[in-house]
Structure 1
Amino acid sequence: MNVNSAHFHLLLGDGDWGACTSVGAKPAALAKKWKSLQPDDTIPIFDAKSLQLTLQPLEEPIPATPGEPLFTAADRRDAVADRNGNLYVIADDRLGLTIRSAGSGVVTSFWPPAPRRRRRETRAFADAAPVETAPRILAGLTITSDDFLIVGAGGSLLRFDLVGGGPPDRAQLPDGIVAAALAPAGDGGLWLLDATSPRLFRLDANLCIEARRVPGEAAIFAPDGIDPAPGFTAEPVTIDTSVIPAPAGLVALSDGAVILLDAPVKTAAGLFILDPGASAIRSLIRLDIVAFCFAATEPKGMPALLLADTDGNQAWRVQLVQRNGRWEASPQSDTLPLRRFGGRALVPIQGNVHYDSGATDPIWVQVIAIPHRRYALSAGFVTPVHDSGVPQCVWDRIWIDGCIPPGATVRVEARAADDSRTFATQATTGWIAQPALVLSPSGSELTGKRAIAAVATDPRNGKGSWGLLLQGITGRYTQLRITLIGDGRITPRLRALRIWYPRFSYVQRFLPGVYREEPVSASFLERFLANFEGLNTMIEDRIATAEALFDPRIAPVEMLDWLASWYEVALDPAWDERRRRLFIAHAAAFFGWRGTIRGLQLALKLALDETITAADFTLDGPDCTCPGAIRIVEAYRNRPRSRRFPKATDIPAPGIRSLDGDWLPEEGAAGLWARWPEGPAPAGRFPLFPLAGKEAIWTALVQQQLGFVPSVGQAERARWQAFQASIGIAAPEPDLPAATSDVWERYAALPTHDRQAWQDFLRARYRTIDLLNAAHDTLWSDFTLVPLPDHLPATATGARDWLMFEGQEMPIDRAAHRFSVLLPRTRVDTDPDTEATQIALARRIVGLEKPAHTVFDVRFYWAMNRVGEARLGLDSAIGQGSRAPELVPAAVLGRAYAGATFIGGPAIPPTGRSRIAC
């Protein structure tokens, strides 16, 4: 509805256009006609790719070349490509496999391996020659989701490990089953089409046919008084394919559906489908061509099938569309020539279908559609009856979004009545020809539309919004008859159609009645002023919908930077539109989290994570522990744990303690010396620094008995000796003093962070210096003179204070205000330049968002299941293990390790670097 309270009826999408009716002797809904479209039907069709109504594309068959043989399904040789683009093909004699390298394009033998030369025997006796067996004919070839190449060899299957290498494993099939064609299934399994009977089987990752339990014979033996347990047997799950007269191959879609080709020798081919979870095959479509092989691709989630005809000159495309949960097929009229097709196979290689060109030493060439097409000359249709709900309604105007190129025309006729039954009884009368459509230079009349919905105006190619003012259309109901006209090579394209009503009349609203007395003059004035009304209404609509500019969900893309400027923020040019709108909509919440861990995670996720959603900005938003999440780890959480000593009240009464037990502070230095592991133990105070020549013994002892290695007393001892030397004392005292002196007061006047922390710890614990001296058996006059101990304190209370300070307080103090930002790394072939860019961006973001007093570092971590480094279910998920594709990349010069990569891969790597060609 616009500012003048006018409404419109809309035709958009295949549902609306399909509800229109064809014109001619037998009118019917376009949707019904599309299901059984004939080349001679003069109706428009709906292009599922561009979502537009066009003239019907006509096929351009390439005639068969005289003298060339026709191919049959028996000529087909299965071929399949791995994820790196290497192509495996069954040899022409069906006794071996060849491989074409993705790097060099060289074709070599893959299997069986070439026989090794045997050294000439000089002995009188030699090993008997092995018994020769009949060679196995190969039929059926596929690669599973976990990179196993499976080949059908008679009544068995050969499984090649494309990751680990080595000879193939052989799996024997049940008696009577011979593979005719294979296709991959989910979870590493595959589909098998039987060559001996009309059956289809599904095999699991271990190449075992899936079976179901059925009742069988009861157990023979059972305990007395207990009936024998019922027996069960395994029965293979079989899909009956008897509805397919001549099965010639199968392909699997990503959703689990299986497509089978019916390829009779001289009659039209057909396609059948086994829907996901179904147990019966249904017919998908019967074609007008004779085909013998096919392949499937899924570009942008739109599955398509390419079929090669028997003369080898052309391929045909069949588009698959899912409606109401079921796949439907529609033939396309694309022109796909095949030059010197060898008749072996059509095979998808990295998303594009290729074919073998040449009888011997074939070159695998991509199937490419030629751009020019042929269309029907004209097609007409009638829209559904539109109801305004107002008797004697004056219908205003029509707007059509689409493209009417030069040389094409869209002719519009309309009629109206107050009784809809008039249209049914008078189908050919009442039509009024309307003026020609005019391209609007200012675009659509609808305001506030996003860029994805608006049609850009291109006068040169006739693209944009076309409009006309309806003439003489008055009545409650209206109907349009539209005719598309082309020249055979071009077609109009209609995306949407809008019929506006009622007309906002300037004559009736603003002019006196005298201007309406003369019918002819009033009609002219009405139409003349309607042109200005249309322009003014568009301007008024923009004014009325100005609030849309302030809503980040619907504001035009060009306004997002302006909205962000309200927060004094410049949006990152690398952000996509969704991320920009998400940030602006939740900017207030984002700045409220600034300086916190959640705020840092939000900032990093905005810049580096594509999975960010509105839920991340809420107060109770998800605390993501999913694999691959950005982590912020505070250093104090990773501090080492010291040994926990029992409380003094929990210690048993004095007595003889075994040296096999843990040391307690009440044992003092004597208890530590008694546990000295080697040689005679020194006597006296126990040093909190390594003894000269016995550093390893001392370190092992304190680590075992204290749970950590003391260091602060050693540093205090070294500073004290250096201070004495700096003031000219010739023979400095090695140990820290136990009483106050002038030299010590001068040294204590130079505080350090660790000594200050120790003194604050004691001051908070004892409050007065007298209580401290009584507990530690010391004679200090002030807390500021107390040094860090370099020997174990003499009293048990003093030892416990020191253990709590250096074992617990100091690790927390050293880790305070420090954190690490961990970015997930899930692949081993990530470009180093890309990682360096991500690290630099993360450092810049964290530097801007962190609290000023904190220190941080940024690094990558392996977001994978690594023993000892990941929490199952929180940080990682178990996938394919060492067979995961992201762990076995293609070899790249300067970044690959021998034995850890594949030699080969895409001819043009994403990073632009050279790859090793095999």
Structure 2
Amino acid sequence: MAMDVNGTRFHLLYTQPDWGACIAMDDGSGRTLATRWALIDDEDQPPLEWSGNPTDGYLQLARQAPLFRSATETGQLDINRRRGADRDRYGHWYWIDPQQGGIRFLANDERESVKFWTWADQPVDCDPVPDGGDFVDAVEPMPDRIDLRGLAVTTRHYLVVGNVTQNGILVFDLHRGGPPLLLQWPEDTPFSPWDMAATPDGGVLILDRDNLRYWVLDQHFRLMAETDEEPSLFQPDDGDPINVFGRVFHPQGFPLIPGEPDQAFAPVSIESGPDGHVLVLHTEPGLPSVIDEYDSSGALVVKYSLEDVITGIETELDETGELVSISVHDFAYTACCVGDIEDCDSCLDVTAALGGPERMLHLLYVARGDGNQVIAFEMDRDDLKLDAQKDYLPLRRWEAKALVAVDGKVYYDFADRWVPLQIFVDCRYARRGLITTPADFVAGNKGQQFDSGLPGCVWHRLLLDADVPPGTNVYVRARAADDPALLEKTVWQQQPRPYQRSDGSELPFYETEMAEDVSRGGTWELLFQEMHGRYIQIELTLEGSGRSTPKLYAMRVWYPRFSYLDHYLPVIYREEPGPASFLERWLANFEGFYTHLEDQIDHMPRLLDPRTTPADALEWLAGWLGLVLDPLWSESRRRFFIRHAYELYSRRGTVPGVEIALRLYLDEEVGEWLFEPDCWGGGDVRIVERFLTRSVDPRLYGDPSTQDQTGDPADTAHRFTVLLPHNLDEEDLQMAERIVELEKPVHTAFELKRYWDLFRVGEARLGLDTQLGESDLIGPLVLGAGALSDVYLEAQYPFNVRDRLISDRDRLGDLPEL
């Protein structure tokens, strides 16, 4: 247990489990924060939450979802305003026009859309001329009008559009171009496409709103349904069947399963979900929406109800949020791989609260029925529930065509363009939260949290590493007793308001978590008033403004008090209890000042260790070794340089020493591997000693102007060449030259060169600088941006397309797998 020079110790709350053991007092249930945080129901969550990783975060007032506030009553969007829309792999957008008879196209980086295709572009046959008739005026035939519903672009670059009139779908090959292919359902099979979504395997999902079913098409646009495994007709003569198949292809959709009578059951949108599942959104006017999840066999896995699904704040005057149900116009699904998240503002990223091992994050974005806001939900795959995110995602003048998820981002239509959904920084927090430290002490047990082990202990100070923005406050009450049974009956005593220490943490050479506004972030301190007893219980009240919140990183409770009155003044000063108590607390101010200085003196050896010395002392420590640190270096690189200064000095004047010094300056990352012999000579810095090279007759590589002449071997002795990457600027080259001058032996000579490729005639060393194979430095030719010897002429479209059979490129018997 840590203590200061006076023998004073402290109890610490720092990690999420530490703070989670505290009791939330808002509902009177006596449950801990950890217990409440683990609950599924949003209404049972406490007004305090943990933000960040479990071992490196802070306690704050709970964020609440701000809801869009409209000056006038906004009605629900008409579901018929929805249009199918999607984006292809090149960033081009496609959507169905307002007349539902054509397709609009918006090219990447363009601002105005153009017609892509309409029903009038269908090929038609001319009417036959009647036999024996007279000449009549020719009338241009017009095709029959068709209505389009639902649109998707598959991962294999096909545009699929629902054809309601002709009971089928239109398939456009975006690589080949030309007219669409019409795929029709059988006449006896009811089919009315409403919405579509592409699947990761190149197929497409089709929602049939009228017939309450959905269809699954594979990458070849064959209708699919899951069946039991059946043996195929072709089998070996002997033994068990080895050729089986488990998917059949016939016009059979998957029926949608109704829910409870009071739940919405009007399918309006479909998405490809996690694990190959299918997500279907149901919305009924006046009822909360429901999202159904079906597995690959069409079985209903779970129903996600959006009734009372989020705690939201309607106005700035709301003290507490209320549970809100959501009616949805459209939704989108995204998945991404996340891991440890650093330097992430919880107000700006829905994944900021995540940490630990890498995992998949599944997010649903639902657009409210009034068209003003999108709300994000994380799909909890373990508990099969939706966790509402607290980000404010407003929609600006949304025309309600669709929400489209592409490459992890969600887009919505704005006029004639498609813009990504952006988080508007409008953080809302609960206004008040109250917790107490646990008081479940067991009499006689030692080592318990907030148990001093000293009867009649005088508790000394409370210090908080905290960020307390203007308009927020932290209040402290405490009580102490020698008997755990009496502690809960002891009256709470209000303690002084914490004040911010001007010299940082009371711990020597410890840097606290600081806020962006350093005037309110740091260490906050109070001196306990009349806290006597072995056990102590502390009550913390966090008050916010609704827009900001205090953030508590750590709490330290120091005990017992080192009294200057008892140790340094005569007994006469302690005879009167009242004046003695005042004098003891007054002298405690001086004790805190001098103890901090004495602790720093006691921990002076930390200043001499580059791993523990404060960042502002690194220059001072480097001066002891005669080192000068680059002001542009990061703190970690400075510490590494000082820690290995002896090894650098011991290798000064050697080839490894020169290489290590250069890599220490040039490499993006440095580590212990710099001093391992196996890593020498394999980085971006190459040092070629001239005596290791041999001259080659220049005529062999096309230079007839000179003749091979054997020179004096002494001409190459004590000379070397330093090869550096070609992308270094002039300032880096000058610094590299200075480093080599300092590190090389004084009697040697060198030259500094840039290299484009290590295989340099007359300078490359076999086995060290040579490697046979394709070079990743050679890229495709870009006009005006490459040298002829460094690029290659790339195959032109469509010969670079990999998911099609290309005439004059692919040969029978050697066709690519499609």
Shorter-normalised TM range: 0.5 to 0.7
- Check if 1:233 corresponds to 2:265: no
The C-alpha deviation readout for 1:334-377, integer Å capped at 9, x for no partner, is: 5444332211234578987553234xx35747645254x55544
Report the equivalent of 1:436: 497
The answer on whether the counterparts of 1:444 and 1:454 sit within 8 Å (CA) in structure 2 is no
Give the whole-Å Cα distance in 2 for the aligned partners of 1:350 and 1:875.
Answer: 36
Decide which of 22, 25, 30 is 1:27's aligned counterpart.
30
TM-aligned CA distance change 1:262 to 1:506, over 3 Å: farther
Q: Give matches, 1:811-822, under 5 Å.
A: 819=721, 821=723
Match of 1:788 in 2: none
Displacement of 1:468 = 0.6
Q: Is the 8 A contact 1:42 1:380 kept in 2?
A: no
Distance 1:179 1:821 in 2: 63
> Which residue is equivalent to 2:434?
380
Question: 2:152 matched to 1:140?
Answer: yes
Asked if residue 293 in structure 1 is aligned to residue 330 in structure 2, the reply is yes
Deviations 1:30-78 (A, max 9, x none): 3443445767987333445994433345555335676865236664446
- Equivalent in 107, 114, 126 of residue 113 of structure 2: 107
Which residue in 1 is equivalent to 2:412? 355
Q: Match for residue 586 of structure 2?
A: 528
2:810 maps to: none
2:600 is matched with 542
Map 1:679-718 onto structure 2 (within 5 A).
none
Segment drifting more, 241-250 vs 594-603: 241-250
Shift of 1:398: 1.0
Is the alpha carbon distance of 1:47 and 1:519 closer, same or farther for their aligned partners in structure 2, counting shifts above 3 Å?
same
C-alpha displacement of 1:442: 1.6
Give 1:20 shift.
Answer: 2.0
Q: Distance in 2 between matches of 1:350 and 1:230?
A: 40
* Corresponding residue for residue 748 of structure 1: none
State the distance in 2 between where 1:213 and 1:637 align: 70
Does 2:543 match 1:485? yes
Query: In 2, are the aligned partners of 1:39 and 1:58 still within 8 Å (CA)?
Result: no
Bigger Cα Rg: 1
Q: Is structure 2 residue 424 aligned with structure 1 residue 369?
A: yes
Q: Does 1:391 align with 2:412?
A: no
| 1:570 Cα offset (Å) | 3.0
Stretch moving more, 513-522 or 498-507? 513-522
Alpha-carbon distance, 1:479 to partner: 1.4
Residue pair 2:464, 2:556 contacting (<8 A) in 1 also: yes
* Partner of residue 18 from structure 2, selected from 16, 21, 27: 16
Aligned-pair CA distance for 1:530: 1.6
Instruction: State the 1:22 CA deviation.
Output: 1.8
Taking the TM superposition and a 5 Å limit, the aligned residue runs for 1:7-156 are 7-23=9-25, 24-34=27-37, 35=39, 43-48=47-52, 51-63=57-69, 70-71=76-77, 75-77=81-83, 87=93, 89=95, 91-92=97-98, 98-101=104-107, 103-109=109-115, 137-141=149-153, 149=157, 151-153=159-161
> How is 1:199-278 mapped onto 2 (pairs within 5 angstroms)?
216-217=230-231, 222=236, 227=239, 230-235=242-247, 248-250=269-271, 262-265=281-284, 266-269=286-289
Residue identity opposite 1:315 in structure 2: V
Could you tell me whether the CA contact under 8 Å between 2:225 and 2:247 is conserved in 1? yes
- Amino acid across the alignment from 2:287: T
Q: Distance in 1 between matches of 2:419 and 2:537?
A: 54
Partners of 1:411 and 1:201 lie apart in 2 by 59
Kindly indicate which of the two structures has a greater share of residues assigned to helix: 1
Deviation at 1:497, TM superposition (A): 1.9
Structure 1 residues 568, 258: CA separation in 2 closer, same or farther (over 3 Å shift)?
farther
In the alignment, what sits opposite 1:754?
A: 710
What is the one-letter code of the residue matched to 2:453?
V
Change in 2 beyond 3 A, CA 1:549/1:394: same
Code of the aligned partner of 2:114:
T
Residue matched to 2:749? 853
Q: TM-score, normalised by structure 2?
A: 0.66
Q: 1:641 and 1:587 mapped to 2: Cα distance?
A: 41
Measured after TM superposition, the shift of residue 396 of structure 1 is 1.5
Q: What is the alpha-carbon distance in structure 2 between the residues aligned to residue 330 and residue 153 of structure 1? A: 33
- Are residues 443 and 875 of structure 1, via their aligned partners in 2, closer, same or farther at CA, if it must alter by over 3 Å? farther
**Higher strand proportion (structure 1 or 2):** 2
1:229 to 1:258, Cα distance in 2 relative to 1, 3 A: closer
What is the distance in 2 between the residues matched to 1:897 and 1:417?
82
Native 8 Å contact 2:366 2:374 kept in 1: yes
Distance 1:366 1:521, change over 3 A: same
3-state SS in 1 of match to 2:756 = strand
* 1:568 corresponds to: 626
Q: Is residue 183–residue 252 contact of structure 1 (8 Å, CA) maintained in 2? A: no
Answer yes or no: is the 8 Å Cα contact 1:214–1:232 preserved in 2.
no
Gaps in structure 1 of 5+ consecutive residues: 121-125, 643-688, 690-698, 717-752, 761-812, 825-831, 864-868, 903-918
User: How far apart, CA to CA, are the structure 2 residues paired with 1:63 and 1:823?
Assistant: 56
Q: Could you tell me which residue of structure 2 aligns to residue 673 of structure 1? A: none
Distance 1:395 1:891, change over 3 A: farther
Cα distance in 2 for residues equivalent to 1:862 and 1:306: 50
**Is it true that 1:195 corresponds to 2:256 in the alignment?**
no
In the other structure, the counterpart of 1:316 is 375
After TM superposition, the structure 1 = structure 2 runs for residues 492-531 of structure 1, keeping only pairs within 5 Å, are: 492-531=550-589
| One-letter amino acid of the structure 1 residue matched with residue 269 of structure 2 | A
Identify which range, 516-525 or 232-241, moves more after superposition. 232-241
How far has the Cα of 1:309 moved from its partner? 0.8
Q: Which amino acid aligns with 1:217?
A: P
- Tell me: CA distance 1:633–1:814, structure 2 relative to 1, closer, same or farther (3 Å): closer
Q: Secondary structure at the match of 2:749?
A: coil
CA distance in 1, matches of 2:654, 2:796: 41
Conserved in 2, the CA contact under 8 Å of 1:589 and 1:618? no
Counterpart pick for 1:446 among 507, 514, 525: 507
Q: Could you tell me which residue of structure 2 aligns to residue 915 of structure 1?
A: none
SS in 1 for 2:710: helix
Quote the Cα distance in structure 2 between the aligned partners of 1:60 and 1:613.
Answer: 46
Question: Corresponding residue for 1:476?
Answer: 534
Deviation at 1:409, TM superposition (A): 2.7
| 1:446 alignment partner, SS class | coil
- State the SS of the aligned residue for 2:532: coil
| Counterpart amino acid of residue 412 in structure 2 | Y
Aligned to 1:686: none
Structure 2 CA distance for partners of 1:271 and 1:711, relative to 1, 3 Å = same
Q: Which residue of 1 aligns with 2:672?
A: 614
Aligned pair in 2 of structure 1 residues 216, 86: CA closer, same or farther (>3 Å)?
closer
Question: 2 CA distance for matches of 1:86 and 1:870?
Answer: 48
Count how many residue pairs are aligned between Structure 1 and Structure 2: 695
- Tell me how far 1:503 sits from its aligned partner: 2.0
For the structure 1 residues 845 and 439, does the alpha-carbon distance in structure 2 shift closer, same or farther, using more than 3 Å as the test? same
Q: C-alpha distance in 1, partners of 2:631/2:405? A: 36
Q: Is the 1:590–1:599 contact (alpha carbons within 8 Å) kept by the matching residues of 2?
A: yes
Q: For 1:55, give the aligned amino acid.
A: L
